[in-house]
Amino acid sequence: MGEATLKKVSYDEIMNMEKQERVHFANSLGGFKSVGLIGTQNNKNQTNLAIVDSILHIGSNPPLFGIVFRPGVLERHTLENILETGFYTINHINEKIHKQAHQTSARYDRDCSEFDETGLIPEYKNDFFAPFVKESNVKLALEFKEKITLSINNTILIIGEVKEVYFPEDCLKKDGFLDIEKAASLTCSGLDSYHKTTRISRLSYAKANKEIISII
């Protein structure tokens, strides 16, 4: 884009937006987000599948990821299943399944499985309790470790430890970098916009007084 005049939107203007407009606007401000399908089941073996765009890398030793659950009065079957069983999966979304993935955000009754409603196939691997999404190319198995409630707005952060990972073998580089673009993983922005990615470059580790170079 060429140089453009920047529009200013104040806090008061944001708060005066119609509710859905404000939700769309605020959800767009953070940039592109990690998006995935969270696979769970309860102790009665009822499966659940939910799209989440708030997946956070918490740490590498041990490997930890967080998921943010927004406050609300509605039933949150995914959260309930994680707290009940202690296990869940994160499944990357690709172009072939992005519409089905988006459909899982609809409100279904407890006895309805989003797997059944969308046609996505639950897959069980290595006796792990929670279901994976068969059509996903990158799949993580996690064990629940901690729940944190943020006092500012009652948002809940769930932290899990990675127990297993599945991905196409040719996507793993010698230095440990997992090429999720090669695996066809999508990203998202706002509430409903899905995107492919195009890598510009990978850069060398930044150090003082040392030139940064491209490593691919």
Query: Is 129 among the domain residues?
Result: yes
Tracing tokens 């606007």 back to the chain, one arrives at 25
Q: In degrees rounded to 5, what are phi and psi of residue 52?
A: -135, 135
Helix (H) or strand (E) holding 81: helix 77-85
pTM score of the predicted model: 0.93
Query: Is 212 among the domain residues?
Result: no
Query: Is 2 among the domain residues?
Result: no
Q: Supply the pLDDT for residue 1.
A: 58
Contact 137, 91 (CB under 8 A): no
Contact 93, 102 (CB under 8 A): no
Query: Is 111 among the domain residues?
Result: yes
Query: Is 204 among the domain residues?
Result: no
Low-confidence ranges of the chain (pLDDT < 70): 1-2, 72-75
Number of domains in the chain: 1
| Sign of the alpha-carbon torsion through 174, 177, 178, 181 | negative
Q: Supply the pLDDT for residue 71.
A: 79
Query: Is 78 among the domain residues?
Result: yes
For residue 56, the domain's CATH number is 2.30.110.10
Query: Is 172 among the domain residues?
Result: yes
Q: Supply the pLDDT for residue 3.
A: 75
Alpha carbon distances (Å) from 68 to 78, 100, 127, 156: 12, 21, 27, 6
* Cα–Cα distance, 184 to 167 (Å, whole number): 11
* Cα–Cα distance, 110 to 46 (Å, whole number): 8
Segments forming the whole domain that contains residue 158 = 15-195
Q: Supply the pLDDT for residue 75.
A: 59
Give every CB contact of residue 49 below 8 A, 6+ residues apart in sequence: 37, 38, 39, 40, 104, 113, 114, 115, 118, 120, 122, 131, 133
Query: Is 8 among the domain residues?
Result: no
